[in-house]
A and B are shown apart, each in its own frame.
Chain A
Amino acid sequence: MKFAEIFEAVIIALNSIRANKMRSLLASLGVVIGISVVIIMGWVLTALDDVLAETFSMMGADAMTVSKWDWSGGKKWEEVMARKAITYQQAEKFCEKIKSAEVATPYISNGGTIKYKTNKIESMVSVSGTKSEYGLTSSGEVSQGRYFNKSEEHVSSNVVVIGHGINELLFPENDALGKTIKVNGYKFVVIGVIKKQGTAMMDFMDNQVFIPLGAYSGMFGISGRSFSIIVKAGSKEKMDEVRLETEGIMRSVRNIKPGAESDFSINESKTFEETFAKIQTYVWGVGIGMTSLSFLVGIIGIMNIMFVAVAERTKEIGIRKALGAPRRSIMVQFIVEATTLCVAGSILSLIFCSGLVFAVATIAPKYIPELSFLSPVMPLKLFIVATFVSVCVGLLAGLIPAYRAAKLDVVDSLRSD
C-alpha cells in the first residue's frame, strides 16, 4: 500500500465529507461523544491519580500508625468497635520496648473548635495531644517556627503547632507565629506551622492542631480514650523489621494469647494506597465500560453511514473497477473514509473538550474549592490516546462496508444508478 494511495483516499474522503456535512456530523456524533467521554474521564482521573500519589508520598512511606482503628477497610466494623482502647500506659510501654524504630510516640485526638479574634473554625478540626518526639516524624515536620520541646511538654505549656490548612484559614497574611488562638476556649500561643500534608482529597490532614499531651489531658481527659502510636522506621527497607517487632511487642503489652487475633491495627500509608487503588480500579473500570459502550454506538453510526455511502456510490465503484482499480484500492478508500470521519470527529471533540476543561478548571474551583486539583490543560497522552482510538474505531467501522464495496460485481455496479 503506497502512501500516495492513502493520501488520494484522504482527499476523496474529505471531499465527500464536505459534500455531506450534516450527515457526516450526525454519523460521527457517537465518536465525538465517545472521545469526549474518554478525554473528560481521563482528565479527571489523571488529576485524581496525581493528587493521591502526592498525598501518599507526603504521608511518609517510612512510618506506621498503631491504632485501635483500621484504615484498610478490610476489617469488620463491629469487630473494630469492640476492641478495647489502647491506654496511655500500654502506649508508653510499647514505646519504651521497641528497639528497631527510629521514633515511636503516642498521640491522641479529638474534635475541637479553633478561634482567632473573630475567626472561628468549628468543623473538621482535629486537636491532637502529642509528645515532643512527634515533631521528628514527617507528620510533625514544620514549615515555619518549631515543634514544641521536651520542657514545654513537661510543664504542659499552652503552645500549639497548627496544620497548614488552619494556618491558611486563620492567618491569610501568613503571620501565625506568636499569635494567641483559642483551642476549645483555652488560650494557646502558635509556635509552629506544619508542612502541607494532604491535598484536596485528604485535607483533614492539614486541618489539625497539635498541643502538648498534658494540656490535652487537661482539656479532654485521657482515661478511657484510645491512643495511637506513630512509629517511624526511618527507611522503607526497615519497614518489615519494624512491623514485625511492633506486632510482637503490642501483643505482649495487650496480653494477647498465642494464636488469637490481634485487637489493634498497624496502619501504613500503603494500606491506604491499597484501598484507594481498589477504588481507582473501579472508577477506571466504570469509565472504560462507559467508553466502550459509547464507542460501540460510535462504530455502529460510522458503519451505518459507510454502508449508505457504498450503496450511493455503487456506480462509482463500478467505474473505478472497470478502469482497473484492484479490490485493495477500493477497500482502502472506504476504510480511509471511515477513519477520516472518525478523526474529524475526534478533532471536533478535542477542541470542544479543551474549551470545556479550561473553563471548568478555571471557574469551578472558585465555587467548589475541592475541585482545585483539576488542571486547565489536558495531558498530551490523552490527545494521543484519543487520536489512536478514533483511528481504530474508523478502521473497525470501515472494514465490513469496505469489504462489501470491494466485492461488488463490476457489471452489476455499472448498471446501477
Chain B
Amino acid sequence: MEKEVIINIENIAKIYRMGEEKVYALRNVSLNISKNEYVAIMGPSGSGKSTLMNILGCLDTPSFGKYLFTNQDVNEMTDNELAAIRNKEIGFVFQTFNLLPRSNALKNVELPLVYSGVKAARREEMAIKALEDVSLADRMLHRPNELSGGQRQRVAIARALITTPSIILADEPTGNLDSKTSIEIMKLFHDLWIKGNTIILVTHEEDIAKYAHRIIRLRDGLIESDKPNENPKTNFNV
C-alpha cells in the first residue's frame, strides 16, 4: 500500500548572500517523504543538512523551489501560519537542546502548549505525562543546567512530542551525547516510529544512521544518494 506523502519538495535551493559572494547551501534538492518513514540525512560538514532540516521544519523558507507540507504550499504561508505549523505539526529536536535556561523541565515542556492555547492546569498535566514517557518524572522541577546532556535531550524530546506532531525532525540529536546516552535517545525515536510517527534525523555517525530505514546523503547542496536501509538496526544494547 502506498503511504500518504507528507513532505514534497521539488528543486529547492537556498542561497545566502555574503556581500558580493553567493553561498549555495542547497543547490537543487527534490525529495518525497511519506507518513511513518524513518529517514536519516547524512553528509559532510557544510553539505547543507541543517539548511534542509530548517526548511523541512518550516523554520526557514527556500530561495527557490516548491515545498508542499501535507499538500499545503509553504511558500504561500504567512509568518503566523508557519508558526502554527511548527507548533502543531512538527516536533523539532536540536543538537544543542535549545531549552530555556531559566525555566525548569516542566515549564520547558509546557511551552509549545502555551502557544496552542491550552489552559494552564491541562498544560501541566500533559507535560508531566510527557516527562514520565521519557522517564524524567523525578527531574521535573530541575532547570536545564541541573540536568545531564542526555536528560536535557530527553526534556527536549518530551517538548517536541507534547503537541503530538505527526513528524519529528532531529538535527544531530546525539551530537553532544556519549554513545551510551545516544543509544537511549535512539531507542526513544524507535518507539515513536513504532507508534506511527514520521522521523527525520540528521547525523554524521554511521552507527546512528543505521537505525533509520532510509538514508539520504548530501554533498555540496545536492543529493548524492537516497537509498533504503534494508537492514535497520534494532539492537539497543551497548
With A324-B83, A324-B115, A410-B59 given, name 18 new contacts (CB 8 A).
Answer: A4-B119, A4-B120, A319-B99, A319-B100, A320-B111, A322-B57, A322-B59, A323-B159, A324-B116, A325-B83, A326-B80, A326-B84, A327-B79, A327-B83, A410-B60, A411-B59, A411-B60, A414-B59
**Interface extent on A, as a size class?**
20 to 34
Can you list 25 A-B contacts with CB-CB less than 8 angstroms, sorted by A residue number? A2-B117, A4-B120, A8-B114, A15-B102, A19-B102, A316-B100, A319-B111, A321-B83, A321-B86, A322-B86, A322-B92, A323-B87, A323-B92, A324-B86, A324-B87, A324-B116, A324-B163, A325-B115, A326-B84, A326-B115, A328-B80, A411-B54, A411-B60, A414-B94, A414-B98
Chain B residues within an 8 Å CB radius of A327: 79-80, 83
| Residue A329 at the chain B interface, CB threshold 8 Å | yes
By the criterion CB–CB under 8 Å, are A323 and B115 in contact?
Answer: yes
Chain B residues within an 8 Å CB radius of A323: 86-87, 92, 111-112, 115, 159
User: Contact string, A179-220, partner B, CB cutoff 8 A, digits 1/0?
Assistant: 000000000000000000000000000000000000000000
> With the chains together, A318 CA to B97 CA distance in Å?
13
By the criterion CB–CB under 8 Å, are A319 and B98 in contact?
Answer: yes
> With the chains together, A19 CA to B54 CA distance in Å?
33
> With the chains together, A322 CA to B99 CA distance in Å?
11
Chain A residues within an 8 Å CB radius of B190: none
> With the chains together, A4 CA to B119 CA distance in Å?
9
B133 to chain A, nearest CB (A): 18
B130 to chain A, nearest CB (A): 14
User: Contact string, B89-122, partner A, CB cutoff 8 A, digits 1/0?
Assistant: 0001010001110100000000110111101100
Chain A residues within an 8 Å CB radius of B116: 324
B54 to chain A, nearest CB (A): 5
Chain A residues within an 8 Å CB radius of B119: 4
A211 to chain B, nearest CB (A): 81
Chain A residues within an 8 Å CB radius of B86: 321-324
A376 to chain B, nearest CB (A): 44
Nearest opposing residue in chain B for A19, CB measure: B102
Chain B residues within an 8 Å CB radius of A328: 80
Within 8 A of B (CB), among A274-325: 315-316, 318-325
A157 to chain B, nearest CB (A): 87
Within 8 A of B (CB), among A362-417: 410-411, 414
Chain B residues within an 8 Å CB radius of A19: 102
> With the chains together, A321 CA to B79 CA distance in Å?
10
Within 8 A of B (CB), among A321-345: 321-329
| Residue B88 at the chain A interface, CB threshold 8 Å | yes
Q: Which of A4, A322, A410, A411 has the most chain B CB atoms inside 10 A of its CB?
A: A322
Nearest opposing residue in chain A for B57, CB measure: A322
With known contacts A4-B120, A411-B59, A324–B102 Cβ distance under 8 A: no
A104 to chain B, nearest CB (A): 78
Nearest opposing residue in chain A for B101, CB measure: A316
Chain A residues within an 8 Å CB radius of B117: 2
Chain A residues within an 8 Å CB radius of B98: 315, 318-319, 322, 414
Q: Which of B83, B88, B119 has the most chain A CB atoms inside 10 A of its CB?
A: B83
> With the chains together, A403 CA to B79 CA distance in Å?
14
Top-4 shortest CB links A-B: A324-B87, A324-B115, A323-B112, A326-B80
Chain B residues within an 8 Å CB radius of A329: 115
> With the chains together, A322 CA to B84 CA distance in Å?
10
Chain A residues within an 8 Å CB radius of B163: 324
